[in-house]
Amino acid sequence: MKIIAVCGMGIGTSVLLKMNAEKVLRQLGIDATVDATSVAIARESRDAQIILTTPDLVDQLTGLPSEIVPIEHFFDLEEITEKLSASLL
Amino acid sequence: MALLTPSKSYPALARAFGENSIRVGAIALDREHSIEMAGELLVASGRSTPEYTESMLDAVAEHGPYIVIAPGIALAHGRPSDAVLEIGLSMVTLAQPVVFGNEANDPVRLVIGLCATDHSSHIDIMAELATFLGDADSVNNVLNAGDSEQIRLLF
C-alpha cells in the first residue's frame, strides 16, 4: 500500500509528516511506505491509497482517486493514529 | 534545572544549526518578517544566500500558512536550489506571538528555517527534528530559553 505525505515543496513539512506517520504505522502493525512529496507531484500521482497533508492544502489536491486525510498537528501521534486507523482498519 | 542539562541526543541537529543560526526573543511585525529573520540566520550561518530567503517568502505566499505544523511552530523553507550552500536549520523564538493565518495552530512563537540541497540527504536531520519538536518539554525549554546557548544545550 502506498501513502504519500504532501506539502508545498516536498522537503520540509511533508518529511516531518512522513516520519510521524511511519511511527504510527509501525505501532499499528501496518505494512506501508510513506513518501514525502510536493503538491505539484502529488497532483500527477494516481497510485496512492491515502494522501496525508495539512488542511490548508486539501483544496489543491481534490479530484484525485486517493483518500485525503488532513492532519492539523503534525507531532500529535494520537491524531495521526486516530485518523489513519479510521481510514485503514 | 532541566534547561541546563546537556542531552546530546540530537547530533544531527547540533550540526544542522550552524554558528549564529539561533535568535532568541525576536520582535517580528508579521509572519513575513519572522520568516525573513529565519532566512537571515541561514545566511548568517553560511548555509544559504539571501536569494533563498526570498524563496522562503515566495513559498508561503504561494501555498499559504500550512507551514504552521503544530501549535505555535512554523517550519519555513524554500526549494532546493543554487541559493542553498549547505544543509542547515535556523531558529527564531518570538517575544510576541505572530498570527500566520493557520486556524488550528496560530499564533506562532517558534519559527524554524530549513534549507536543503536535495530531497533526501537531510532525512536524518528531519528525523531528529520530528522527535525534538514532538517533545513538549524540548519545545517549552526552547521557548523559555534566555539565549541561544541554552537552546544549544538541548541538542
Query: Would you list the domain boundaries of chain A?
Result: 2-83
Q: B56-88, pLDDT tens digit by residue? A: 999 999 888 989 999 999 999 998 999 999 999
Residue B138 pLDDT > 80: yes
> For chain B, how long is the longest CA-to-CA vector?
43
Question: Active-site residue among B33, B63, B77, B119?
Answer: B77
CA distance A46 to chain B (A): 21
Nearest C-alpha in B relative to A20: B130
pLDDT range class, residue B7, cuts 50, 70, 90: low
Residue B4 pLDDT > 60: no
CA distance B106 to chain A (A): 11
Interface list for B 82-111 with A (CB within 8 A): 102-105
Q: A58-87, pLDDT tens digit by residue? A: 999 999 999 999 999 999 999 999 999 999
Average pLDDT in chain A:
93
Backbone angles phi, psi at B71, to 5 degrees: -55, 115
pLDDT value at residue B31: 96
Tell me if residue B77 is catalytic: yes
Number of domains within chain B: 1
pLDDT value at residue A15: 93
Residue B119 belongs to domain with CATH number: 3.40.930.10
Q: B78-119, pLDDT tens digit by residue? A: 989 999 999 999 999 999 999 999 999 999 999 999 999 988
- Residues of the domain holding B25: 12-147
Mean pLDDT, rounded, for B1-20 = 79
Rg over alpha carbons for chain A, rounded to the nearest Å, is 11
Residue B4 maps to a domain = no
Looking at beta carbons, which residues of chain B come within 8 Å of A53? 66
Mapping DSSP onto H, E and C, the string for chain A reads CEEEEEECCCCCHHHHHHHHHHHHHHHHCCCCEEEEEEHHHHHHCCCCCEEEECHHHHHHHCCCCCEEEECCCCCCHHHHHHHHHHHHC
Residue B37 maps to a domain = yes
Right CATH for A2-83 from 3.10.25.10, 3.40.50.2300, 3.40.50.2000, 3.40.50.80: 3.40.50.2300
ipTM for this prediction: 0.87
Mean pLDDT, rounded, for B15-43 = 97
CA distance A19 to chain B (A): 6
Residue A34 pLDDT > 90: yes
